Amino acid sequence: MKPKERQQKIADIIRREGQSTVDQLVNIFKSSPETIRRDLSALASSGKVLKIHGGAKCTNIQGEGCFQLRLRKNVSAKRVIAERAVCLISEGDTLFVNAGSTTVIFAEELMKIANLTVVTNSVDIAKILGACKNGTKVYLLGGEYSQDNHETLGAMVIAQLQQFYAKHVILPIGYIHSAVGVTDFNAADVSVSQAMLAQAENSILLADSSKFDQTAPFVVGGLDQFNQFICEKAPEGALRKALADNNVEVLS
């Protein structure tokens, strides 16, 4: 197994379990303790884990909020989605990436592509991509800080977004429904998503199958406003038909 692949699997384990020891990881990967320690050091330097004595844990594990819990849910599905989404991105592209647990994992995959311009309201995404030494530029939008999602929100974020134009906008979502469209749980998050959509050429939705056929209180937009939908499992029934009727390309 290549070091980058092993490190990604280690990060997923720690995100899912909360923490892990060097000995546990040695047993899982059949690698030497020295190799695992080097892996943990590399992950810590990019902000994906926090090293502790004898192992590593999730960042901000103490006093964690809902966002940290979401980061641990459906990790394998989110990794598949992130890997598929990265295939749509080319070197030199400009991207809007809204804050979310799936887009944090997407950002980890995005490190493979050079010379990007990434505009985000997520502190975690900015930290991940800011560690790249491949020519990628990161713009962190300023505004009211939300500790739960580690993101910035509000009128200042919206105003700054209007100074950019992107090839792609990558959006995490609350739920997706055949009749209602894309919805989310926070009105301020929805405002940021809508502002990003208005300033981007192509829109990409990321969601695992647990978000199908349900609704949240605030509408991001109808299905006709989106170009691509990336999921780990293809939707069926009414949602599948609605996506096709609205010319949304499904990548699953």
- pLDDT tens digit sequence for 147-189: 878 899 999 999 999 999 999 999 999 999 999 999 998 999 9
The predicted-structure confidence for 28-66, as pLDDT tens digits, reads as follows 999 999 999 999 998 888 777 888 989 998 765 433 345
The domains located in the chain, with CATH, are 3-62 (1.10.10.10), 68-251 (3.40.50.1360)
Taking 60 as the threshold, does the pLDDT of residue 68 lie above it?
Answer: no
Question: How far is 11 from 187, CA to CA, in rounded Å?
Answer: 31
Taking 60 as the threshold, does the pLDDT of residue 202 lie above it?
Answer: yes
Cα atoms in the Cβ-side hemisphere of radius 13 Å centred on 192: 29
Model pTM score: 0.74
**pLDDT at position 67, please?**
54
**pLDDT at position 75, please?**
84
